[in-house]
Structure 1
Amino acid sequence: MSNIYDTAHELKRTLAESEEFKGLKSLHEQIEADDIAKKMLTNFRNLQLELQQKQMQGIQITEEEAQQAQQQFELVQQHELISKLMEAEQRLSVIIGDINKIITEPLEEIYGNPDQQ
């Protein structure tokens, strides 16, 4: 039986070699080289982080803040590179979610599936 950590490292290498990861990395590098796109994305992510931190602290987000976030989202979605990056991030997120679901299946045999309770 192989070492579980060896298997995890092999999975890491497989993910790094996947077309989804390579595409995401390429888009990220393109955005880093584009000052306008980089600044737009940084501002958007900072706003997202700020609002998430407020929510985690139990602070109600104002209507104005929600509207500002929506406007920022619409703005970054109009930038082709950023829009493609977000789509690539979503695809990779689905893959990682699927992998997580697969590797936690043995625990479901013991504890059950919390989604089905």
Structure 2
Amino acid sequence: MTINIYDIANDLERGIRETEQFSNLKQAYADVNADAEAKVKFDRFREVQVTIQEKQMSGQEIDDDTINLAQEVAEEVQSNAAITNLMEKEQAMSLIINDLNRIIMTPLQELYDVKEK
């Protein structure tokens, strides 16, 4: 019997969409987008995150201006209930993704652990 791993991955993707955590995340994201002030703050926060990630990936140093901007934007989003709720829902979804990643990587981990002994 041959297993189509991509069919399993697609089943997993559909399963993720059906979780309570994803449903909660989707609603929290809709709530942020429905609140004009929250949306502007969240979009700004994401832009700063992307800028920092791009600098890190390209090996650039993150300058003081970028750090200060990131701190300022983080303070703004932390004061918005809709955004903090969204971040909590993102964290819950992230736990699931991390668990799934750990499970998926188990065969490789076991393989390499056996060879190292």
TM over 0.5: yes
Q: How many residues were matched structurally?
A: 113
Report 1:5-84 matches (<5 A): 5-84=6-85
Secondary structure, counterpart of 2:23 in structure 1:
helix
AA aligned to 2:67 is A
AA aligned to 2:90 is E
**Unaligned runs of at least 5 residues, structure 2:** none
Task: Write the distance in 1 (CA, Å) between the matches of 2:12 and 2:53.
Answer: 30
CA RMSD after TM alignment? 1.7
Task: Write the distance in 1 (CA, Å) between the matches of 2:31 and 2:73.
Answer: 20
**Unaligned runs of at least 5 residues, structure 1:** none
1:86 maps to 87
Question: For residues 38-84 of structure 1, what are the alpha-carbon distances to aligned partners after superposition, in whole Å with 9 as ceiling and x for unaligned?
Answer: 11111111011112211222221122321220111111011001001
Question: For residues 8-63 of structure 1, what are the alpha-carbon distances to aligned partners after superposition, in whole Å with 9 as ceiling and x for unaligned?
Answer: 22222221111100000001111112211111111111011112211222221122
- Higher alpha-carbon deviation: 3-12 or 90-99: 3-12
Secondary structure, counterpart of 2:27 in structure 1:
helix
Task: Write the distance in 2 (CA, Å) between the matches of 1:51 and 1:108.
Answer: 31
Identity over the aligned pairs, expressed in percent?
A: 42
Task: Write the distance in 2 (CA, Å) between the matches of 1:9 and 1:92.
Answer: 18
- Higher alpha-carbon deviation: 40-49 or 29-38: 29-38
TM-score, length basis structure 1: 0.86
Report 1:95-110 matches (<5 A): 95-110=96-111
Q: 4+ residue runs of structure 1 moved beyond 6 angstroms?
A: none
Secondary structure, counterpart of 1:112 in structure 2:
helix
Task: Write the distance in 2 (CA, Å) between the matches of 1:16 and 1:83.
Answer: 22
TM-score, length basis structure 2: 0.86
Task: Write the distance in 2 (CA, Å) between the matches of 1:68 and 1:103.
Answer: 37
